[in-house]
Amino acid sequence: MAFADYGRRLGVATSVMCVLDYLNDHDGASQKDIREYTMLPRQTVNNVISSFVEQGYVTLGEAGEGAGGAGDRRVKSVRFTEAGRRYCNALIAPERAVEYQAMSQLDPAERDALVRSMEIFGREFRRRLREARV
């Protein structure tokens, strides 16, 4: 997978890249939100977030609207600090730029078909994985 290869070249674990990628678009998400989207194990997400807290990249606060478990004091929102936002941007922005460049090589109809197909595939894949874990 290109995303994992990119992270390895930078010396960054795929799990770290996945969490950063999600938080880049969902700053303030809960660890549960991150787990559900990335499909990473609970302990892996916890370890990544704990590491980010230690490095001063994120803070944990009360979950707000939209965060999984809003109203449950055990659920904490994960928010970037300025240092964390810089770290995220340094890793994710170049990857996103390359992704956009690659997508721009497709004509609009191909791009639309690809996005629709990936959304359908992603939903079905997640649904089946959830069922397989039961």
The type of residue at 134 is V
pTM over 0.75? The answer is yes
Residues listed for the chain: 134
The whole-angstrom separation of Cα 13 and Cα 17 is 6
Divide the 134 residues of the chain into consecutive groups of 10 and give the mean pLDDT of each group: 88 96 96 93 97 97 59 82 97 94 95 95 88 70
In a domain, 90, yes or no: yes
Q: What is the pLDDT of residue 82?
A: 98
In a domain, 125, yes or no: no
Q: Are 22 and 36 in contact (CB under 8 A)?
A: no
Q: What is the pLDDT of residue 102?
A: 93
Domain coverage including residue 58: 2-105
Domain containing 46 — which CATH number? 1.10.10.10
Q: What is the pLDDT of residue 67?
A: 47
In a domain, 131, yes or no: no
In a domain, 130, yes or no: no
In a domain, 67, yes or no: yes
